[in-house]
Structure 1
Amino acid sequence: MSHDAFSLSVLAALAAVAILMIVVALPVVLGMRHAAKDQEFQHAERLKAIEMGRPLPGDPAHEGSPRTAVAGIGVWVPISALVIALAATTGSQNSEAAGVAIWVSAGGVGVTGLICGTILAMSTMARDGRTADCHAPAKHRFEESEIDTVSRRGV
C-alpha cells in the first residue's frame, strides 16, 4: 500500500468517525441533557406539590380524579342502563310483562348507580378532608419549636 493510499484511508476513517460522532454521539449527549433538565423540572413540581399539600404528580394512588369515578358511577351507569332498556324494548315483539321487567331492572340499576355514586363522592371528600364545596384542605401549621432550622449564622 502506498503512502498516498494509506493517508487517504486514514482521512476516510477520520471522516467516518466524525460523521458518526455527529450522527450518534451528539443526539445521545443532547438526550442526556434533556433528561437531566426534565428530572429537575419534575423534582421542582413534586416539591411544589408537597409544599401546597397536594397529591404528588405521577403517584399511582392519586391517578385519575375522584370526580371521574363519581361521574362514571353516578351519571354514566344510570344513563347506560336506561339506554340499554330503551334499545331492548323499542321495536321488539316481547310481551308487555317482559318490557315492564326490563324497565324495572334498568330503573333499579340506575338508582343503585346514583346512590353508589353519591356515597363515593361523600366518602372521597371526607377522606381528602374536603367540605361539600370542594375546597382544598388547609396546610398543617407547625409550632416554632417543632421546626429545626439551619440559619446562615451557623447557630
Structure 2
Amino acid sequence: MIHNVLFLVAFYLFLPQILFADEEIAIVLFVTGKVQYSQAGKIETLKKNVILTKNAKVETGEGKADLQLGANAVIRIAPFTKIEIAELFSDNSKNTAKLTLVSGKLFTNVQKSNKKEELEISSASYTAGVRGTQFVISEEKQKLLKMRIRIFLKEFL
C-alpha cells in the first residue's frame, strides 16, 4: 500500500516535467553563399527560416549561416564548416543545445537570461560548455590535428 502511495506521489510530481519537456528547434536566421543541410535523410540547400531539429547536419561551402538555438543563443557557421546538432531540448528550467563541430569555425553568442541556457560544442579533441558569453571556436584538420580556441568573455556568471 505504501509503495502505491509513493509511486503515485512520484508520478504526479514528475508528470509535469515529462509532459512539458520538449524538443527544441534551431531556426535559420541568415544564409549567404553555398550552404547545405541534411535532415531525415534528405540533403537540401539551406535557406532562411528553415527549421532544424536534432541530428540535422549543416555544411557550408563558400557561404555562412546564422542559427538561433533556443531563446538566447545564436551561432554563426563560418565558410567551410561542418556541424551536427546532437541535442536540442527545453523544459521549464533550462534550454540545452549540444553541437558537434566536425571541422571549421563557429562564432557563438549566448545571452545571459533567467532561464538556464546551456550550449555545448564538442569535437574530436575537446568539449566547450558555455553560458552567457561570446566566443569563437575552430577545429582544423591538417596533417596534425590543430585546435584553436579563442574565448572572448563578455560577462562572468
More helix by share: 1
Identify the structure with bigger relative contact order (alpha carbons < 8 Å, sequence gap 6+).
Answer: 1
Q: Please, what TM-score do these two structures have when normalized by structure 2?
A: 0.21
Q: Please, what TM-score do these two structures have when normalized by structure 1?
A: 0.21
More strand by share: 2
Larger radius of gyration: 1
